[in-house]
A and B are shown apart, each in its own frame.
Chain A
Amino acid sequence: MMDRQTDVALSVKTDMKFLPLVLSFAESSSRIFGLDDKDTLKLTLAAEEVFVYLCRMTGDPAPVTLTMTNGFYNAQLRFAFEGIDFDLRAFNLTADVPPDEEGLEEMGLLIASRSVDRMSIFHSAMEGTGFTLIKEKTYPEAQPWESAQPPAADGLSFGTPDVEDLKVLVRSIVGRYDPFIYPQDFRYPGKVVDMVESGEYKAITATDGKGRIAGGMIWRYSGSSMIECYGPYIFVKEGGEGIAERLVTGVIAAVARSEAVCLINRYATEDLPRGYFERLGTIDFIRDGEKRPWHFLFRQLREDPGCRVYAHAGMEEFLKDQYKRHFLAREIIPVRYEGERQNPHSVFGASFQHNQKLVVLKPLWDGADAGENLARHIDALRAEGIKNILLGIDLGHGWQARLYPVIEAGGFTASLIMPYRGKADLVFFTLRG
Chain B
Amino acid sequence: MNRNMWWLLGANLKSDYRVIIVWLLVNFSLIVSGALKLADLYNSPETLDQLLTMLRTPMMTAMFARMPELSQYTVAIVYAAIMLPIMAVLMGLMNVQLVVRGTRQMEESGETELIRGGVTTATTPVLATIFEVLGVNVLMTMTMGIGVVLIPMHGATSGGAILFATLLGTFGLMVAGITLVLSQLFAESRSVNAIGYGVIAVMYVLRAVIDVRRAAEWRWLSPLNWLESARIFADNRAGAILTQGWFAIVLGLIALALVNGRDINAGLIQFAGRGRQRATVWLRGFTSLFVRLQARLVLTWLVGLAFFGAMFGSLFHEVGTMMIDNPQLTKIIGAQLEASMHHAIYRHFLVMVSMFISFLAILAGLNVMQRFHTDTVRGAYDLLGGMRLTRLKLYATYVSGAMIVALCLWGVAFMIVWFTANMVLTVPMDVTMMQQALVGYVPSIAVLIAIAAVLLGWAPRWFGLIYGYAGVMFLMTYMKNLMDLPMWALKLSPYGWTYNVPVVSLSVVRSSWLCGLAVVLLIVGYIGFKKRDLV
A binds B: no
